[in-house]
Structure 1
Amino acid sequence: MGDSIRSLVEGTEVRKRPLRVAILGAGAAGLCMAIKLQKSGIGDFTIFEKAASVGGTWRDNTYPGSGCDVPSMLYSYSFEPKPDWSRKFAPQPEIVEYFEGVARKYRLLPHIRFNTEITEARFDEAAGLWRLRAAGGEEFEANVLISGVGQLNRPAFPKLEGLNDFKGAAFHSARWDHSVDLAGKRVGVIGNGASAIQFVPEIAPKVGSLTIFQRTANWCVPKADRPFTEAEKARFRAFPWLVKLQRYLTYLTLERNYLAFVQGSWFGKLFERAALKEMEAHIKDPVLRKKLTPDYPAGCKRILLTNDWFPALARDNVHVETAHIAQVTENAVKTEDGVSHPVDVIIFATGFESTDFLAPMKIVGRGNAELNHVWAHGAEAHRGVAVAGFPNFFMLYGPNTNLGHNSIIFMIECQANYIAQCVEALQNSRLRYLDVRKDAMESFNRTLQKDMQKTVWAAGCSSWYKTADGKVTNNWSSFTAKYWWEMRHPDFAEYTLVGA
């Protein structure tokens, strides 16, 4: 850092100035960011949450069997361990309860404006302020804008001819309609990804018939899940270091799994063999087994952890349909082979609009540049957190920070630490704003995309990790340890620093 930059950022003669921070979203990312700001001595922040409670995607995904595929000890903040998780992989209600408890313990609730959805944010370059507008028309100002809305918050729906003519109930798994009684009903599930493998085994014994309209087969491996015993929980409470040890060992185990996502790796072949062995143990019908065998390398799409998916598919009242859907009628789903599948209920398990980061929110930076236009050919950011031309704007769980092998909470903490240091620099200096340099951002992304070509995520299959053009915009391209190392401290030489 040059002397002139150092005088702006670290000038000891400069008093801390008032600084207002706006955080979008009260999910895992937004809560973490708020706590990191508190610990940095920055208390003037507001979390804008469009819903009436905290929890983000875990608050929204209440479908039967909803739970996490990352071990509980690691799917929690490092600074707020939980010694009494009920299971190795926590169910959705317990995860929401955890985040609600965090919000209360760190006294974040007074900082949250619930039922306030920010629809537009514009940067006022002269004032160095972000001017926010909510759906209800309210307007707010902030020196710093931080998005914690993540990648999995807007359900994706397929465009199906005739869907409006359907007379039965139809809903997305992420907006589960609990008023619909599925007992004895003919149910059609469109999609077979991470949500479907959790709720299908739950509803299959209750429904009359269940047809799964499969787009592509999944690589599914056994889930090493079980309840924690009362003795284990007692030991975790009595000896906090055991929780830290369990967390560390879990991290190392998952970090090793990145090797499975390197194209052509022997470790990836181990995953494939484990998945095929699991399927063969439960699926005896050779026709069904062929339908369920993927034709792409393991990891190109999300590897799914489950113990009850294949047994559910082997049930007499469950049918897997691989023909593409042609249209929806009043009471059926018709496939391109001409077969009509009668259904009373349609459940969409079709994931999220994951590559349209921050949409439909309108973010306008310097020179009236609109973020969605800047990202027209695929979202990218500097280290996943900053975008050139959008000063004092940061993201958590932004482009290329998702994982296929470890805990996103770990990544969020790395980002929150980095962003908190940037906000501290603004507070402790004469800076009006920080704006990451375009050349620094482009250099970072060239390296990232080059590394990405070595992974299975860049292989030929389509997935929610990448755009229709094939650009991987969601996943980090290496070990999380590398990301942690690069995010320990901001390099302000990568930024344009503009004084007051």
Structure 2
Amino acid sequence: MTQPSGVLARPDHEVVIIGGGFSGIGAAILLSRAGFEDYLLLEAGDGLGGAWHWNTYPGVAVDIPSFSYQFSFEQVAGWSRVYAPGRELKAYAEHCVDKYDVRRRTRLRTTVTAATFDDEAHLWRLDTSSGESITARHVVSATGVLTQPKLPDIDGLADYTGTVMHTARWDHSVDLTGRRIAIIGTGASAVQAIPHLARAAEHLTVFQRTPIWCLPKPDAPLPGVARAALRRIPGAKRVSRLASQSFVELTFPVAAHFAGLVPVAAAGERLGHAYLRQAVRDPAVREQLTPRYALGCKRPSFSNSYLPTFNRDDVTLETTAISAVTPTGVRTVDGTEHTADVLILATGFKVFEKGNMPPFTVRGAGGLDLDKWWEENRFQAYQGVSVPGFPNFFTILGPYGYNGSSYFNLIETQGTHIVRALRRARKVGATRVEVTPEANAAYFASALGRRKHQVFFQDSCGLANSYYFDDNGDVPFRAATTLETMWAARRYPLDAYAFTA
């Protein structure tokens, strides 16, 4: 190991975690449990919980069974339903923050605007919106990708005189009762919100660009006796989690990444078509709601109330393209104007857009810009965690890290990967940890080599308008089972990283 020129400065913190959602909370807990107590968690918002702090629209809920949507080391028995509502996920985040002593090492309302690596001092300098600079030996980026709401590029939106809100920034002061509501988008958030909006509105108009695959939701209330059984019967939590994990694994990682080997998606499509025939009475509306792309090309949804909503006389499904938003409503290209008092934007998030992953400038060794590096080399990261040229910088949701299973599996897997690298650095006295170009290249080649069995690269996916695809036509999901990702995090060769003092 070589000694850099100059004197190594002592950073403000050994690790700074950026982002206070479950990724950041999980990273903090796992670091602390591994003996890395000198960390600071920075969160731009005024509360913790990430998506469950920001998303409070009517009907917001987890989209996989709650038994899977929690940390393996902190399983709770108090969920009110198989698919818990958003407020319970927010409460679970607060519970974890308090139980594992994360709150006192957290700073809210602190937005990181830039991160710059100091080559001589082997540390990161983090600029914040307040003008303060914070230094860290290591940075864990836990900002997620579904964080920055994406507004539609529609003429006239700024001139609309009614109430406008994005589903991710819901305004609860607005009374929707008896109002004429228009909602643009039929993605995952819209599927949850639309049944609730229909019950409140005088009339609801749903503007759909691309129909979503909607499957029956195996949801039910969890009565007190069931919750008591989970608490008191030995092994009950483990069994419920195993059943839940198996369901989740089958419906995404297996179905999406091994479609060429295991025809789960085809069975899902048959179920989806049968459910659509049963749920929607009008054949014309049913036809409009029928996807023309394979199940898995874009994020599907599970709901027992979304499709039946279109049987209501006070709900209109509009599939004609929008030409403009007018001061009083929405006009389609055929000249029809749909008057609306309230306009809801269920238009998703910036995902692979420049400046979102992460949502601040990152300059690594020699001033290398992360956005520019990805633009020139395609999205890639070693096991979704590290990028060559960006020492001491780790991500939870990096390219080719997430396999589509429970997000909590991802957090724990990536946390395990990061902790192993930091433990080795501590053991050998290294202050600079950087994945080697060779290890990264081999992993990227392996990831691309698995595409032939993934559902995403069949022709019909071109009709899906899916945010899964980046500008290069890649889908940076990790084509692996959850067990494989867990094994790899625990067993990857540590010489994939260069450790320098």
TM over 0.5: yes
Q: Which runs of 5+ in 2 are unaligned?
A: 3-10
2:480 maps to amino acid:
S
User: What are the within-5 Å matches in structure 2 for residues 75-474 of structure 1?
Assistant: 75-257=69-251, 258-261=253-256, 262-263=258-259, 265-356=262-353, 357-376=356-375, 378-404=378-404, 406-459=405-458, 460-461=461-462, 462-473=465-476
Q: 2:6 is matched with which residue?
A: none
**Native 8 Å contact 1:146 1:394 kept in 2:** yes
Query: Structure 1, residues 140-171: CA drift from partner, whole Å, max 9, x if none?
Result: 11000001111211111111111111111111
Greater shift, 112-121 or 330-339, is seen at: 330-339
Alpha-carbon distance in structure 2 between the residues aligned to 1:64 and 1:418: 37
Q: Which amino acid aligns with 2:272?
A: A
Q: CA deviation at 1:310?
A: 0.8
> Residues of 2 paired with 1:26 and 1:18: CA distance?
19
Deviations 1:118-145 (A, max 9, x none): 1111000111010111111011110000
Give the Å deviation of 1:455.
1.1
Shifted more, 452-461 versus 151-160: the winner is: 452-461
**Contact 2:210–2:291 at 8 Å: present in 1 too?**
yes
Alpha-carbon spacing, 1:319–1:469, altered in 2? closer, same or farther (3 Å):
farther
User: Could you say which residue in structure 1 is the equivalent of 2:18?
Assistant: 24
CA distance in 1, matches of 2:473, 2:121: 39
Q: 1:324 to 1:403 in 2, by over 3 A?
A: farther
Which amino acid counterpart does residue 470 of structure 2 have in structure 1?
T
Q: Does 1:476 align with 2:478?
A: yes
CA displacement at 1:306 relative to structure 2: 0.4
What's 1:13 paired with? Answer: none
> What is the CA distance between 1:416 and its match in structure 2?
0.5
- Residues 11-30 of structure 1 show CA distances to partners (whole Å, capped at 9, x for unaligned) of xxxxxx99610000111111
Whole-Å separation in 1 of the counterparts to 2:434 and 2:182? 49
What is the match of residue 8 of structure 1?
none
SS in structure 2 of the partner of residue 37 of structure 1: helix
Letter in 2 for 1:396: I
Cα deviations by residue, 1:435-460 (Å, 9 ceiling, x for unpaired): 11122212211221221232112333
- Alpha-carbon shift at residue 266 of structure 1 (Å): 2.9
Structure 1, 250-259 or 158-167: larger mean CA deviation: 250-259
Aligned twin of 1:12: none
Deviation at 1:194, TM superposition (A): 0.3
SS at structure 2 position matched to 1:497: strand
Quote the Cα distance in structure 2 between the aligned partners of 1:397 and 1:189. 29
Whichever residue aligns with residue 26 of structure 1, its letter is: G
CA contact (8 A) 1:166 1:331 kept: yes
Distance 2:183 2:473 in 1: 27
| CA 35–126 in structure 1, closer or farther in 2 if over 3 Å, else same | same
Residue 310 of structure 1 aligns with an amino acid whose one-letter code is L
Report if the CA contact (8 A) 2:384-2:402 is conserved.
no
Task: List per-residue Cα deviations over 1:329-354 (Å, max 9, x = no partner).
Answer: 11121111221111111111111111
Any conservation in 1 of the 2:13–2:40 contact (CA below 8 Å)?
no
Work out the CA distance in 1 between the residues paired with 2:167 and 2:231.
35
Runs of 4+ that moved beyond 6 A = none
Q: Deviations over 1:403-455 (max 9, x none)?
A: 44x21101110110110111122222221211111222122112212212321
TM-superposed deviation, 1:307: 0.3
Q: Distance in 1 between matches of 2:395 and 2:217?
A: 31
Select between 490-499 and 178-187 the one with higher mean Cα deviation: 490-499
Residues 1:116 and 1:19: Cα distance change in structure 2 (over 3 Å): closer
Q: CA-to-partner distance for each residue in 1:174-211, whole Å, 9 max, x for gaps?
A: 00111222112111111001000101101101111111
- Name the CA distance, whole Å, in 2 between partners of 1:428 and 1:259: 38
Alignment of 1:479-490 (within 5 A): 479-490=481-492
Which one-letter code corresponds to 1:60 in the other structure? Answer: W
Equivalent in the alignment of 2:46: 52
What is the root-mean-square deviation in Å for CA atoms of aligned residues? 1.7
**Residues 184, 92 of structure 1: CA spacing in aligned structure 2 closer, same or farther, 3 A cutoff?**
same
SS at match of 2:443: helix
Give the deviation of 1:373 after TM superposition.
1.0
Please give the per-residue CA displacement for 1:269-318, whole angstroms capped at 9, x wherever unaligned.
11111111111112121111110111011111112100000111211111
**Identical-pair percentage:** 35
Give the superposition deviation at 1:490.
Answer: 4.0
Q: Within 2, Cα distance between the matches of 1:348 and 1:104?
A: 34
Partners of 1:36 and 1:101 lie apart in 2 by 16
How much has 1:252 moved relative to structure 2?
2.0
Contact 2:70 2:408 in 1 (8 A): yes
Instruction: Return the letter of the residue paired with 2:439.
Output: A
Q: Distance in 1 between matches of 2:401 and 2:306?
A: 28
* Distance (whole Å) between structure 1 residues aligned to residue 263 and residue 186 of structure 2: 27
- Which letter does structure 2 place at the counterpart of 1:394? F
1-structure distance, mates of 2:472, 2:136: 36
TM-score (norm 1): 0.93
Q: Do the aligned partners of 2:425 and 2:499 also contact (CA within 8 Å) in 1?
A: no
Listed one character per residue, the Cα deviations across residues 19-71 of structure 1 (whole Å, up to 9, x for unaligned) are 61000011111111111111111100000011121100111000000000111
The amino acid across from 1:316 in the alignment is: D
What SS does the corresponding residue of 2:199 show, helix, strand or coil? coil
Gaps of 5+ in 1: 6-16
